[in-house]
């Protein structure tokens, strides 16, 4: 395995947080980092130049969606997902497993893989551990996820156990195929499952790290469980993850959750929260989240987040963005999504800066105090 | 009146086309020009930087919509429409009359003005010639339209006659109020009505130019009439419009119609076609308009319009834009709107270039041949 891909430059002296860098086929990424979610080969409302402009180091896209539409032939003809989206920096793709379980119809898990029908047209498909590696080869992803079984929440112990077993068995097949399939320029993650059961989390972590991957992800979180359960899972699994490999908690979270998860030793994050909340009028600011469509902002000439240096905050007022959203104008969705994604990217830059100066603990305290202040 | 606002630099030696410039409070505009339509204080999908980047000299916005939402208090608090939209170049606003007739409920025309109920919340309002001048004063428009009565199509002779009479009577009140109201830094247009009746068109043109405005508009076109009727109205009215004043045909049109109208001596155009058609998957190119969501473009790596220099054509393929539109992604609407508006702006630049070189007639022939080629 390619340990040299990931370098830890500095460890926080008071928390488990780490500052590092991850080398990929499309450039080096400073860690910890956040990945904006580009489900259909676009971070909703934003073009690739916008993402570069806000300093996004990487985007995440979804294997399940791209496989169904536009389909692999179109992506292949475009020179992979990078060419299709006109995005020159790294891309992480998931395995599609999560979407098969949450979106597809008539899914059936067998030892071979998972059969399902497309949520778009009902057509029948089979994802196997090998097939999702083939797909991600065509996509040209820099970081790849293996097919796993993500247990829902709530979930019986028996169901969680089956998800752990299947995930481990598929992880072994994935790694074997990955080697044969000459994909080693694409960094492969192992995924830990186990739901809310500490002993299953521990077992899964031991089994997956036993198989041996380039990087590790904690899956089966952010599936509807209480925040406490999410952090319990992170804290349970983290000690089993090799210090020298990148650690990714899939699908989280709110800004305060990300800061806390960094303090637990996590390096990578993704969530559609900044764009999804933006489309519904929620604005992120250092003083907490607020609903910009509220009446009180109707003539507010301040930028979304005072002191924010983003393109949107330098040009447009809360009053204008509120008006656009209330008028169902595309530009409103676009501007607020842009600001919110910038907010997440800038947060990670601030976190890395604090780690470099070894003042992350203070940074976290100050950030959370300011972020929670208006909620109390 | 301020004749010096408008200068004709060159006249075409074979058609009625003119090359000129129009001075406004927010800078000089080269004529002939096109105005992208920003109904709710945004050209749909585009931010003010986009419009600057594509070289748009001016935008048009709608008095009726802005008056109802966000309302004048919000615009006033934002330092007028320029501040609200963060747009530094000129703005033309209509009088709101057209929207009152096409959108509002329970409208009733009296000598005083037009009473109507908001299409948003049913609230009762009155627009008078004086009131729409007051509104446009708050908006801070560089170019203003007076309240008129736009006859629908089809329209009886009697109805057309009433529309001409009311339009002239309100035009007189408008000009008087405009002088008293100290709005002379805002260029005021007179609007010619008359529907499809040549003698009424002629009468309206004589009455309105008799009142005496800074610039003239031909209204009551592009309301559903056949293209031949539209050009008949233009050709009927144009000889009555003073040579030394700008001439604006309201609400047209397709690219080929704009080129032809320039040859009839028209200087100004507006239409929501580039953005509206873009949102529905219609792409403008020098080889004609095409539906980019068609199957045949699914893996097409070419830009929307080969040889186009716009941001979108330099970065994204037809395949990618087709995929975005089919996936109902905001970015698809945004990118195709951007390209289409660029196409219109660039067309006007090409027209002005041809006029400067006195080869407009050849330009028109070549443009129309190429534009129509695929349709035959």
Domain C-terminal end among A271, A296, A325: A271
Q: List the one residue out of B190, B268, B195 whose CA is nearest residue B18.
A: B268
User: Do residues A116 and A135 both lie within one domain?
Assistant: yes
For residues A135-146, give the mean pLDDT.
98
Distance CA A215, CA A197 (A): 23
Active-site hit among B94, B148, B214, B305: B94
Based on the residue annotation, tell me whether A94 is a catalytic residue of this protein.
yes
* Rounded average pLDDT over B307-325: 98
Judged by CB atoms closer than 8 Å, whether chains meet at B40 and A327 is answered as: yes
Contact indicator for A198, A155 with CB cutoff of 8 Å: no
Claim to verify: residue A11 and residue A106 sit in the same structural domain = yes
Domain of residue B337: give its range: 281-373
Residue (of A16, A26, A21, A17) closest to A5 by Cα position? A21
pLDDT at B213 over 80: yes
Using a 10 angstrom Cβ sphere, with 0-12 exposed, 13-18 middle and 19 or more buried, the burial of residue A224 is exposed
Q: Which residues in chain B are closer than 8 Å to A323, comparing Cβ atoms?
A: 40-41, 69-70, 74, 84
Residues B93 and B148 in one domain: yes
Q: Which residue in A48, A84, A323 is closest to B41 by CB distance? A: A323
Return d(Cα B32, Cα B262) in angstroms, integer. 7
Q: Three-state SS for A328?
A: coil
Percentage of chain B modeled with pLDDT above 90: 95
Indicate whether A203 and A290 sit together in one domain: no
What's the CA gap between A179 and A369, in Å, rounded? 48
Is residue B376 over pLDDT 60? no
The predicted pLDDT at position A75 comes to 98
Residues of B in contact with A334 (CB under 8 A): 45, 47, 330, 334
Residues A343 and A211 in one domain: no
For A334, the closest of B74, B85, B330 (CB atoms) is: B330
**Helical H runs in chain A?**
48-53, 63-68, 72-77, 80-85, 97-102, 129-139, 157-180, 198-211, 227-237, 255-263, 273-279, 311-315, 318-326, 330-356, 360-373
**Does the structure show a pLDDT above 70 at B373?**
yes
Note whether B206 and B334 are same-domain residues. no
B44, A316: Cβ pair inside 8 Å? no
Per-residue pLDDT tens digits for B106-158: 899 999 999 999 999 999 999 999 999 999 999 999 999 999 999 999 999 99
On whether both A289 and A156 belong to a single domain, the answer is no
The CA distance from B338 to B326, in Å, is 18
Helix (H) or strand (E) holding A19: strand A18-24
User: Do the beta carbons of residue A333 and residue A325 sit within 8 Å?
Assistant: yes
What's the pLDDT at A3? 54
Q: How far apart are CA B275 and CA B288, in angstroms?
A: 16
**Facing residue for A323 by CB, picked from B48, B70, B330:** B70
Q: pLDDT tens digit string along B223-270?
A: 999 999 999 999 999 999 999 999 999 999 999 999 999 999 999 999
Nearest to B74 among A42, A298, A324 (CB): A298
Question: At B4, is the pLDDT very low, low, confident or very high (cuts 50, 70, 90)?
Answer: low
* Residue B305, helix vs strand vs coil: coil
As given in the structure block, the two tokens for residue A28 are: 């080096």
Tokens in use for A345?
């990217």
Specify the higher pLDDT residue, A97 or A64. Answer: A64
Contacting residues of B for A45, CB less than 8 Å apart: 330-331, 334
Q: Do B48 and A331 touch (CB under 8 A)?
A: no
Quick check: B315 and A78 CB within 8 A? Answer: no
In the structure encoding, which two tokens stand for residue A88, read together? Answer: 């020159």
Is the CB of A84 less than 8 angstroms away from the CB of B319? yes
pLDDT for B101: 85
List the one residue out of A151, A157, A153 whose CA is nearest residue A229: A153
Q: Which residues of A touch B335 (CB under 8 A)?
A: 47
Q: Is residue A276 part of a domain?
A: no
Closest C-alpha to A207, from A163, A263, A246: A163
Pick the residue of B47, B318, B322 with the most A CBs within 10 A to test the interface with A by mutation. B47
As a whole number of angstroms, the distance between CA B344 and CA A257 comes to 47
Within 8 A of A315 by CB-CB distance, chain B residues are: 47-49, 86
pTM of whole model > 0.90? yes
CB B193 within 8 A of CB B221: no
Alpha-carbon dihedral angle through residues A347, A92, A59, B291, given to the nearest 10 degrees: -160
- Residue B100 covered by a domain: yes
**Do residues B250 and B2 lie in contact, with contact meaning Cβ atoms separated by under 8 Å?**
no
Q: Which of A36, A323, A335 to mutate to test the interface with B (most CBs of B within 10 A)?
A: A323
Q: Which residue of B has its CA nearest to A275?
A: B330
Residue B3 confidence (pLDDT) above 60: no
Using one digit for the tens of pLDDT, what is the confidence trace for A235-270? 999 999 999 999 999 999 999 999 999 999 999 999
Residues of chain B in contact with residue A317, where contact means CB-CB under 8 angstroms, are: 78, 84
The answer on B117 and B98 residing in a single domain is yes
**Collapsing DSSP states into helix, strand and coil, what is residue B337?**
helix
Residues B58-75, mean pLDDT to the nearest whole number: 98
Same domain, B153 and B13: yes
User: Cis omega (within 30 of 0) on the bond before A97?
Assistant: no
A with B: how many residue pairs have Cβ under 8 Å apart? 114
Using a CB-CB distance cutoff of 8 angstroms, which residues of chain B are in contact with residue A86?
315-316, 320
Domain identity same for B179 and B223: yes
Backbone angles phi, psi at A317, to 5 degrees: -95, 160
B292 lies in the same domain as B263: no
Is the per-residue pLDDT at B188 higher than 70?
A: yes
- B chain contacts of residue A74, beta-carbon cutoff 8 Å: 298-299, 319, 323
Question: How far is CA B152 from each of CA A6, B106, B144, B221, rounded to the nearest angstrom?
Answer: 69, 16, 22, 9
How confident is the model over A203-227, as pLDDT tens digits? 999 999 999 999 999 999 999 999 9
Of A14, A29, A20, residue with least CA distance to A263: A14
Residue in B142, B214, B267, B270 annotated catalytic: B270
Give B222→chain A minimum CA distance, Å: 25
Task: Spot the catalytic one: A50, A94, A148, A267.
Answer: A94
CA distances from A4 to A7, A21, B256 (A): 7, 10, 61
Find, among A152, A125, A150, A143, the residue nearest to A64 by Cα: A125
pLDDT for A77 beyond 80: yes
Question: What's the average model confidence in pLDDT over A47-60?
Answer: 98
Nearest to B323 among A70, A86, A330 (CB): A70
**Section B328-341 average pLDDT:** 98
Task: Identify the closest residue of chain B to A279 by CA–CA distance.
Answer: B330
pLDDT of A272 higher than 80: yes
Closest by alpha carbon to B354, among B341, B368, B342, B340? B368
Q: What is the pLDDT of residue B164?
A: 98
| Separation of alpha carbons B295 and B325, rounded Å | 12
Q: Do A299 and B77 touch (CB under 8 A)?
A: yes
How does residue A2 score in pLDDT terms, banded at 50, 70 and 90?
low
Q: Report residue B361 as tokens.
A: 């007639």
Nearest-by-Cβ selection for B298 from A40, A74, A322: A74
DSSP conformational letter for B130: H
Q: Note whether B198 and B329 are same-domain residues.
A: no
**CA-based nearest distance B72→chain A, Å:** 10
Flag whether A359 is in a domain: yes
CA of B146 vs chain A CAs: smallest distance (Å): 26
Which stretches of chain A sit within 8 Å of chain B by CB? 40-42, 44-49, 69-70, 73-74, 77-78, 84-86, 298-299, 301, 311, 315-317, 319-320, 322-324, 326-327, 329-331, 333-335
Burial class from Cβ neighbours inside 10 Å (0-12, 13-18, 19+) for residue B55 reads: exposed
User: Within a domain: residue B119?
Assistant: yes
Is the model's pLDDT at B1 over the cut of 60? no
Domain assignment of residue B52, yes or no? yes
- Domain boundary among the residues B216, B251, B271 is at B271
Residues B47, A317: C-beta atoms closer than 8 Å: no
Chain B residues contacting A via beta carbons under 8 Å: 40-42, 44-49, 69-70, 73-74, 77-78, 84-86, 298-299, 301, 311, 315-317, 319-320, 322-324, 326-327, 329-331, 333-335
CATH code of the domain in which B216 resides: 3.20.20.105
- Exactly one of A50, A148, A267, A270 is catalytic; name it: A270
Contact assignment for A315 to B42 by CB distance below 8 Å: no
Please report which confidence band the pLDDT of residue B334 belongs to, taking 50, 70 and 90 as the band edges: very high
Beta carbons of B343 and B284 less than 8 angstroms apart: yes
Check: CB of residue A339 under 8 Å from CB of residue A308.
yes
How many domains are contained in chain A? 2
Q: How many helices (H) and strands (E) does chain A have?
A: 15, 16
Tell me the percentage of chain B whose pLDDT exceeds 70.
Answer: 98
Q: Which residue of B has its CA nearest to A81?
A: B320
Supply the angle between the helices B157-180 and B129-139 in degrees, to the nearest 10: 50
Closest CA to B191 of B266, B94, B259: B94
Give the domain-ending residue among A251, A271, A291.
A271
Output the CA–CA distances (angstroms, integers) from residue B192 to A37, B160, B163, B165, B186, in the order listed: 53, 12, 10, 11, 19
The DSSP 8-state label assigned to residue B37 in this structure reads B
């Amino acid at each position: 395995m390619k340990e040299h891909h990931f370098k830890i430059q500095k460890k926080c002296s008071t928390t488990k947080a780490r500052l590092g860098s991850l080398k990929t086929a499309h450039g080096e990424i400073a860690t910890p980092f956040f990945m904006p979610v580009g489900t259909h080969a676009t971070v909703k409302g934003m073009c690739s130049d916008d993402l570069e402009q806000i300093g996004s180091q990487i985007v995440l896209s979804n294997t399940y969606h791209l496989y169904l539409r536009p389909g692999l032939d179109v992506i292949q003809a475009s020179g992979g997902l990078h060419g299709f989206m006109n995005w020159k920096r790294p891309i992480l793709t998931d395995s599609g497993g999560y979407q098969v379980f949450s979106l597809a119809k008539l899914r059936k898990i067998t030892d071979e893989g998972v059969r399902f029908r497309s949520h778009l047209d009902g057509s029948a498909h089979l994802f196997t551990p090998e097939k999702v590696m083939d797909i991600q080869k065509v996509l040209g992803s820099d970081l790849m996820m293996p097919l796993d079984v993500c247990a829902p929440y709530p979930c019986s112990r028996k169901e969680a156990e089956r998800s752990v077993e299947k995930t481990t068995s598929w992880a072994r097949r994935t790694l074997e195929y990955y080697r044969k399939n000459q994909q080693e320029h694409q960094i492969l993650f192992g995924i830990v499952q186990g739901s809310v059961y500490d002993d299953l989390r521990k077992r899964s972590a031991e089994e997956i790290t036993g198989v041996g991957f380039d990087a590790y992800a904690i899956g089966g979180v952010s599936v509807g469980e209480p925040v406490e359960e999410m952090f319990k899972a992170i804290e349970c699994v983290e000690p089993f993850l090799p210090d020298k490999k990148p650690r990714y908690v899939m699908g989280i979270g709110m800004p305060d959750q990300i800061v806390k998860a960094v303090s637990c030793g996590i390096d990578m994050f993704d969530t559609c929260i900044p764009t999804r909340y933006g489309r519904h009028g929620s604005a992120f600011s250092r003083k907490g989240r607020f609903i910009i469509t509220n009446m009180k902002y109707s003539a507010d000439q301040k930028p979304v987040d005072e002191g924010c240096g983003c393109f949107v905050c330098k040009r447009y007022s809360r009053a204008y963005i509120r008006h656009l959203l209330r008028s169902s104008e595309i530009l409103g969705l676009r501007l607020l999504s842009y600001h919110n994604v910038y907010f997440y990217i800038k947060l990670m830059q601030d976190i890395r800066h604090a780690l470099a100066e070894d003042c992350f603990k203070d940074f976290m305290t100050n950030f959370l105090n300011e972020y929670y202040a208006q909620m109390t």
